[in-house]
């Protein structure tokens, strides 16, 4: 599945996804995607950063739903935008 990163700077075709701790950042959890680099193996990239593990897991569930629905492209949500909409 093709993924547009949270910062809209990367469009990558990912073969696997995971949630991991983000060491040293204000946002403590990262959703990463694994991309295949052909003969060079695989590489993980950060697709989005989240303040809570629950928020990162919810975004992972959204990706899973996109895969189940045969979506070709998934755009990572901007956590700050979602917070503003919920509090506005």
pLDDT in tens, 29-53: 999 999 987 677 888 999 999 999 9
Q: What is the pLDDT of residue 23?
A: 84
9 vs 12: CA distance, rounded Å: 10
What percentage of the chain has pLDDT greater than the value 70?
Answer: 88
- pTM for the model stands at 0.81
DSSP structure class, residue 7: T
What pLDDT does residue 80 have? Answer: 55
Average pLDDT, whole number, for the chain?
A: 86
Strands 42-50 and 73-75: unpaired
Considering only residues 38 and 14, tell me which one the structure prediction assigns the higher pLDDT. Answer: 14
Question: What's the number of domains the chain is made of?
Answer: 1
CA distance 31 to 60: 7
The domain in which residue 27 lies consists of 2-87
Contact 13, 63 (CB under 8 A): no
């Amino acid at each position: 599945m093709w993924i547009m990163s949270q910062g809209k700077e990367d469009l990558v075709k990912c073969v696997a996804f995971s949630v991991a701790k983000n060491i040293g950042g204000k946002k403590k959890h990262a959703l990463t995607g694994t991309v295949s680099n052909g003969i060079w193996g695989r590489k993980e990239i950060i697709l989005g950063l989240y303040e809570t593990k629950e928020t990162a897991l919810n975004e992972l569930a959204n990706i899973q739903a996109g895969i189940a629905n045969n979506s070709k492209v998934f755009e990572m949500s901007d956590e700050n935008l979602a917070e503003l909409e919920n509090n506005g």
